[in-house]
Structure 1
Amino acid sequence: MKHIKQTVLVIKFILLATVVYQIYQMTAAGDFSRLESSIAVIPLIFAGDILKKLGVRTSAIIEIIFLIFLFISSILGSLFHFYEFVDYFDKFAHLLSGIVTAILGIIMLKKWRIKSKHQLSFDIILMNILSLAIASAWEIYEFVASKALNSDLQRVGASGVTDTVHDMIVALIGSLMVSVMYYAIVRNEKYRKLGIKLASLI
């Protein structure tokens, strides 16, 4: 466990150093088109620490998963222009976001012991609602950032509404994939044992 915590610290340091360097490079070049994306990444790097301060405990494994997702979606995607130069990278990032938020939804349900008479159906519905809520929040952020900095994060010039809806659908597909796996784990004895082992890690 000590090695895992050290891994989390190393990943955070690398992410923070990368973001700070990118902010410096953009500021020096007078390019502020991605400044808001860069600044927004900084508090996200320390999301686990913020949650702990609020009394919400998260495991090191979950932090690593989230930080890897943050690296792919924000640093590679926005700061290193993968969204522009790598085909379908944007859709891959949204698919991954749906998967990650659905997994986080499962963890929230179990950690906070949220119960329902129809537990399995309730869990699956809540997972997918959470995924869509996060996807919607991100699109709202892109809209506000675009207006504030006169950029085009939502690709309004190339049918931004279509791009926004596609992004949300892809995120939903990601959460539905997790829902199917979750259903199989809960309903099937063989998969349930695997689920218990995975749960012990988080």
Structure 2
Amino acid sequence: MHKQSLALKFSFVFVVLSIAISLLTAAWQLAQGKSGSPLLVLETGASLLLVLLPALLSKWLRFYLPAFLYFFFLAFIYCAIYLGDAYHFYYIPYWDKFLHLISGALLFGLAWAILGCFKFKEELPAGFLCLYGVAFAVFCGVLWEYYEFTCDGLFDMNLQRYLSAGRALAGRAALLDTMGDLIADLAGSLLFSCWSYWRLKNDRSWLKTFFFKKYSPDD
């Protein structure tokens, strides 16, 4: 069995089992009437659904999931929803920035997966492919900040951390969270692009590992 496929299956089983165990534990605590459990059940249940959904769609629609893309997706869901929301890892300094590093690599891979839909993909040089991946990741990061800004304005949330102890920050202090997120998005995509450039220079066919592929009739 291919090492990459084996590593992905191990990661999938580990993430699913750990989330499922936590979901059962939270449900048992809820049955005991302990406070805080309903939210934990909801968050762990959502993370389990998000992890399983791509695999189920792959099975039903008969296509292969790109290994690198799905690995980073698993890592992001596990760290963001399971550890971050359900177990409050967001209180750890720079945990949010770490997640933006992962999302930068994830979005870079998604850019290449989308590229697989076009016929001219094989003709593009490695440098352009990496530049395109970084630009796509940063653009998606900007869209995410638009979403946070909109939610903060419409629903009085604090997604962009512009409030501290109920008071609005001013000037540069109000920008730190947003700019830090965008810089982390850029850094994550740049780091992944450097490795991707080296891989493409050594093996051009490596690009195809990011593409969605249909099952053959014999599979």
TM-score (norm 1): 0.67
Identity %: 24
Name the SS for the 2:192 alignment partner. helix
Q: Which of 141-150 and 62-71 deviates more?
A: 141-150
Q: Show the counterpart of 1:115.
A: 120
Alignment equivalent of 2:76, drawn from 69, 90, 113? 69
How many residues are paired up?
A: 195
Q: Which residue of 2 aligns with 1:162?
A: 176
Following the alignment from structure 2 to structure 1, what is the Cα–Cα distance between the partners of residues 118 and 51?
Answer: 27
Kindly indicate whether residue 133 of structure 2 is the aligned counterpart of residue 127 of structure 1. yes
Distance in 2, matches of 1:9 and 1:76, equals 17
**Gapped regions of structure 1 (runs ≥ 5):** none
Which residue in the other structure is 1:87 paired with? 93
Bigger shift: residues 154-163 or 112-121: 112-121
Q: State the partner residue of 1:58.
A: 65
Distance 1:28 1:144 in 2: 34
Q: Is the 8 A contact 1:4 1:61 kept in 2?
A: no
Contact in 2 for aligned 1:41/1:74 (Cα 8 Å): yes
Q: Distance in 1 between matches of 2:24 and 2:149?
A: 24
Unaligned 5+ runs, structure 2? 212-219
TM alignment of 1:42-53, pairs within 5 A: 42-49=48-55, 51-52=57-58, 53=60
Name which one, 1 or 2, has greater alpha-carbon Rg: 2
Task: Give the secondary structure class of the aligned counterpart of 2:64.
Answer: coil
* CA distance in 2: counterparts of 1:40 and 1:143, whole angstroms: 24
Distance 1:125 1:141 in 2: 25
Between the aligned partners of 2:37 and 2:148, the Cα distance in structure 1 is 18
In structure 1, C-alpha distance between the alignment counterparts of 2:24 and 2:142, rounded to whole Å: 27
Contact 1:12/1:67 (8 A) holds in 2 = no
Q: Whole-Å Cα distance in 2 between the matches of residues 114 and 161 of structure 1?
A: 41
Question: Does the 8 Å CA contact 1:23/1:38 hold for their aligned counterparts?
Answer: no
- How far did residue 73 of structure 1 move? 2.4
- Aligned residue number for residue 217 of structure 2: none
Q: Give the equivalent residue in structure 2 for 1:15.
A: 19
Instruction: Identify the residue that residue 99 of structure 1 maps to in structure 2.
Output: 105
> Is 1:173 matched up with 2:177?
no
- Structure 2 residue identity aligned to 1:68: A
Specify which structure has the higher proportion of helix. 1
Q: Relative contact order (C-alpha < 8 Å, sep 6+): which is higher?
A: 2
